């Protein structure tokens, strides 16, 4: 099965980039956008000077629990940069969202409580809320993570968006917010 089909079957439509968008990123942004693919996994990520952004991580159901996800995360951790990713908030009717958060918690990821992320899906026209998780090897601040997310949104998520989707995503300042003092509880503590 083609790598895009694996991702498309696993991730919700509102989170998926089009195949054309991802192939264009791999071709035109090959300096920062990468694919790591094997028989049982697909990892799409962007590596910039100061951080790594995991766009998609898929591990097939038949190979889960065998350490493959851990090995892929360890490979990225060896780069010595913060790792950032977006996840769906826990949906107790979808056990995958809970399992995903437990996995990232075991891998040492933290919830960026001060960062808000809400984007209208161009596929469904619905507001899609995501949580930002990060691994900070040098105790990087959430403010640094926020700046990295803004850069990711502008360089990756909205790259030629009008060409691929017929319209543009919202501007960065409408999608990403930062609250200095966040009283929200850590979602990873509840998993």
Integer Rg of the chain from CA: 16
Residue 1 pLDDT more than 50? yes
Handedness of CA 10, 12, 15, 16 (dihedral sign): positive
pLDDT tens column, 81-133: 999 999 988 766 666 778 888 999 999 999 999 999 999 998 888 999 999 99
pLDDT tens column, 29-53: 999 999 999 999 999 999 999 999 9
Residue 182: per-residue pLDDT: 46
Residue 92: per-residue pLDDT: 61
Q: Which residues of 176-188 are buried (b: 16+ CB within 10 A; e: fewer)?
A: bebeeeeeeeebb
Which residues does 49 contact at the CB level (< 8 Å), separation at least 6? none
For residues 79 and 89, the answer to whether their CB atoms sit within 8 Å is no
Over residues 14-32, mean pLDDT: 97
- Output 123 or 168, whichever has higher pLDDT: 168
| Helix/strand/coil percentages in the chain, nearest 5 | 40, 25, 35
pLDDT tens column, 140-164: 999 999 999 999 999 999 999 999 9
pLDDT tens column, 170-187: 999 999 999 976 444 555
Of 45, 54, 53, give the one whose Cα is nearest residue 147. Answer: 53
Over residues 76-82, mean pLDDT: 98
Q: How far is CA 133 from the centre of its chain?
A: 8
Can you state the angle between helices 19-28 and 3-10, rounded to 10 degrees? 130
Task: In whole angstroms, give the CA distance from residue 79 to residue 137.
Answer: 10
Residue 187: per-residue pLDDT: 53
- Output 65 or 20, whichever has higher pLDDT: 20
Give the CATH superfamily of 3-180: Gcn5-related N-acetyltransferase (GNAT) (3.40.630.30)
């Amino acid at each position: 099965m083609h790598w895009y089909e694996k991702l498309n079957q696993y991730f919700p439509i509102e989170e998926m980039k089009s195949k054309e968008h991802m192939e264009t990123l791999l071709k035109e942004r090959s300096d920062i956008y990468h694919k790591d693919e094997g028989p049982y996994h697909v990892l799409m990520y962007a590596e910039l000077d100061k951080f790594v952004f995991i766009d998609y991580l898929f591990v097939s159901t038949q190979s889960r629990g065998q350490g493959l996800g851990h090995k892929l995360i360890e490979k990225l951790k060896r780069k010595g940069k913060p790792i950032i990713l977006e996840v769906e908030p826990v949906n107790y009717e979808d056990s995958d969202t809970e399992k995903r958060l437990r996995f990232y918690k075991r891998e040492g990821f933290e919830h960026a409580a001060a960062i808000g992320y809400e984007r209208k899906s161009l596929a469904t026209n619905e507001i899609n809320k995501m949580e930002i998780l990060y691994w900070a090897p040098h105790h990087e601040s959430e403010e640094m993570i926020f700046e990295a997310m803004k850069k990711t949104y502008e360089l990756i998520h909205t790259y030629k968006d009008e060409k691929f989707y017929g319209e543009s995503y919202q501007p960065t300042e409408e999608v990403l917010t930062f609250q200095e003092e966040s009283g929200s509880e850590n979602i990873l503590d509840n998993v």
